[in-house]
Amino acid sequence: MHLKRWITGLVALPLLIFLIIKGGAYFAILIGIVCVLSMWEYFRIVATAKGKPFSFITVTGFFTGAMIIVASYGNFYDLILGLIALNIIICGLISIWQFKKDPLVLETVKKQLQGIVYIPLLLSFLVLIRNQPDGMLWVFFLLAIVFAGDISAYYFGSYLGRHKLCPAVSPGKTIEGSIGGLAANLFAGSIAKFFFLPVFPWASSLLFFLVIGIAGQAGDLFESELKRSSNIKDSGGLLPGHGGFLDRIDALLFAAPLAYLFKIYMI
């Protein structure tokens, strides 16, 4: 498992770095692909006895999700909100049409709306960050903090973990792993700030690192909650050693919007 994780990471890392550096449409296409694949995994996770996992409503969700990423590439903030509103209206119309033969159609609508907010909307903040004049540095900055915390939490928890963090949601996660992850967030963020973003004040930067670390762990636990509610171990198997795409980006989904807000309004 450990070897597969590292091989997958080392293979994917050069392509990820290249697309972040290129930015523009290249980066937006990458995020769009990740968005669609993650939504596919999400709908698989929430496939329960209540509601259908794939239907006209979920197909509408895939289209809306892709268009949200396109809108974020163009910095069309109002269009993102318009797409979400239009999606709700379309889902409402479809549910009215299907309700007679499928009384549980509203369960599918609820899951689709949650998926739209959870994946494409939150992922769009990565594109919005990259669109900024210094966006490339900030994307690398964010990824360094999140991935360092994720990796450290995994290994600290594996070798030193003794006390359960949230056993009802994720029995494998520990308090020791959580603390190790936050320490890595602070360390990686401090190193990146010192070399690449030295003008930012230390006080707000350290707060930023902690907020991103806590948000990342919350995102990880939220996805674990989704999987546990459906009795699924991994969101998918597309990334050997990592599970699915949603398993890999769960922390980033919660961290990206906060990074954007910090960048625009606080740092």
Q: Which amino acid is at 124?
A: S
Angle ∠(110,115,120) on CA atoms, nearest 5 = 145
Nearest CA to 112 out of 56, 175, 169 is that of: 56
CB atoms within 10 A of CB 43: 20
State the Cα–Cα distance between residues 225 and 13, nearest whole angstrom: 28
Per-residue pLDDT of the chain (267 residues; tens, 9 = 90+): 555 655 666 777 899 999 999 999 999 999 999 999 999 999 989 875 454 556 899 999 999 999 999 999 999 999 999 999 999 999 999 999 999 888 889 999 999 999 999 999 999 999 999 999 899 999 999 999 999 999 999 999 989 989 999 999 998 899 999 999 999 999 999 999 999 888 889 999 999 999 999 999 999 999 999 998 888 876 666 655 556 899 999 999 999 999 999 999 876
Contact 23, 130 (CB under 8 A): yes
Q: How many domains in the chain?
A: 2
Does residue 177 share a domain with residue 127? Answer: no
Does residue 146 share a domain with residue 64? Answer: no
Does residue 158 share a domain with residue 122? Answer: no
Contact 233, 170 (CB under 8 A): no
Does residue 227 share a domain with residue 199? Answer: yes
The helices-and-strands tally (H runs, E runs) of the chain is: 10, 2
State the Cα–Cα distance between residues 48 and 163, nearest whole angstrom: 32
Question: What radius of gyration do the chain's Cα atoms show?
Answer: 19
Q: Which tokens sit at 65?
A: 């999700």
pLDDT of residue 265: 87
pLDDT of residue 163: 94
Contact 215, 258 (CB under 8 A): yes
State the Cα–Cα distance between residues 193 and 233, nearest whole angstrom: 36
Does residue 224 share a domain with residue 97? Answer: no
Q: At 101, phi and psi to the nearest 5?
A: -95, -15
pLDDT of residue 49: 44
Computed over every residue of the chain, the mean pLDDT equals: 90
Does residue 146 share a domain with residue 71? Answer: no
Q: At 53, phi and psi to the nearest 5?
A: -70, -35
Domain of residue 220: give its range.
Answer: 134-267
Q: Which tokens sit at 49?
A: 């006895």
Q: Which tokens sit at 11?
A: 């293979």
Does residue 55 share a domain with residue 29? Answer: yes
Does residue 122 share a domain with residue 89? Answer: yes
pLDDT of residue 197: 86
Domain boundary among 97, 113, 131: 131
pLDDT of residue 199: 87
Does residue 194 share a domain with residue 86? Answer: no
Does residue 140 share a domain with residue 266? Answer: yes
Contact 146, 194 (CB under 8 A): no
Stated length of the chain: 267
